[in-house]
Amino acid sequence: MGLVDKVNRAIVGCQRCPRLIAHCQHIAQVKKRAYLSETYWGKPIPGFGDPKARLWIVGLAPAAHGANRTGRVFTGDSSGNWLYKVLYETGFANQPGSTSINDGLRLKDAYISCTARCAPPGNKPTREEISNCSSFLEQDFEALRHVEAVLALGSIAFEAVQKLLAVKPKLKFTHNAKFHVENLSLFTSYHPSQQNTNTGKLTWKMWEEVFWRIREELENKPLSKSNFVASHRRQTLNEPKTPRSS
Ligand code: SF4
């Protein structure tokens, strides 16, 4: 078993935050009307993606009826629709949609973790819960040995990443910023939550600009987006669609 799988196994078995564990289980029992026939995951959510990723994306926490239902990060909710669509457009995913853990989605050169791995009430983990979960971010970072770029989604994830990387003095969060921290490039974006996407705080243009910037940095050259998309689609069409576990 690889290091990433070991971390994920530890995450799924974690019980460190009683409030969050109880909340995840409660949501899994009461469910949402639209998903009454489904069996919810109802546990901490492991990371997902390519263990050899150069891009590491750090989100906030699983959604109650998204990842807490489906068992895969950013899967089955509107934030996931935004994230995987842009990852597909910029060549990090084999398909734009993420509906269930068995939908065939695979990431290439990208890995996704969360600041807190359990769905919190009101989408707000406490400081103590974030601190409890920080060891899993450290373990992911340790396991992902090829990371060159880190993308923090939202100010809480940005703060957690800064703590992990021992950034001093503290950096201020703004959308689509880029910082150099030792040999890493640290990028920021507003989180693609409905609160941000429905209000226009985060538009699709603002969102995709972040990922194209990262893609260009990783390729170390300016890209013609239309050529890149065409070549990426040719590649993914030729790849076998076997599901991949994280
Ligand atoms: S939030 Fe993290 S530390 Fe707390 S119970 Fe979930 S997995 Fe464990």
pLDDT per residue, tens digit, the chain (246 aa), is 899 999 999 999 999 999 999 999 999 999 999 999 999 999 999 999 999 999 999 999 999 999 999 999 999 999 999 999 999 999 999 999 999 999 999 999 999 999 999 999 999 999 999 999 999 999 999 999 999 999 999 999 999 999 999 999 999 999 999 999 989 999 999 999 999 999 999 999 999 999 999 999 999 866 777 777 777 777 765 665 444 343
Return the pLDDT at 195. 96
Instruction: Report the nearest-CA residue for atom 4 of ligand 1.
Output: 17
pLDDT of residue 231: 77
Predicted confidence at residue 235, as pLDDT, reads 73
Closest residue by Cα to residue 147 from 103, 98, 183: 183
Which residues have a Cβ under 8 Å from the Cβ of 37 and sit 6 or more positions away? none
Show the CA angle centred on residue 162, arms to residues 159 and 163, nearest 5°: 90
- SS3 (DSSP) at 187: strand
Residue 139 sits at φ, ψ, to 5 deg, of: -70, -40
Going by C-alpha positions, the residue among 176, 167, 180 that lies closest to residue 205 is: 176
Tokens of 140: 């992911």
Protein residue with least CA distance to atom 2, ligand 1: 133
Q: By alpha-carbon position, which residue is closest to atom 3 of ligand 1?
A: 133
CA distances (Å), origin 111, targets 55, 89, 198 = 6, 16, 26
The DSSP symbol for 57 reads E
* Cα 186 to Cα 149: distance, rounded to the nearest angstrom: 6
Q: What are phi and psi of 59, to 5 degrees?
A: -95, -165
- φ/ψ (deg, to 5) at 10: -65, -40
Ligand 1 geometric centre to CA of 68 (Å): 13
Which regions of 34-92 does DSSP assign to beta strands (E)?
A: 48-49, 55-59
Ligand 1 contacts CB of residue 70 (under 6 A): no
What the chain holds in terms of domains, given with CATH numbers, is: 3-238 (3.40.470.10)
- Whether 214 lines ligand 1, by a CB cut-off of 6 Å, is no
Which atom of ligand 1 is closest in space to residue 125's alpha carbon? 1
User: How far apart, in Å, do the first and last CA atoms of the chain sit?
Assistant: 11
CA distance 142 to 18: 26
What is the reported pTM?
A: 0.93
Q: Residue 146 CB: number of other CB atoms within 10 A?
A: 13
Q: What is the pLDDT of residue 158?
A: 98
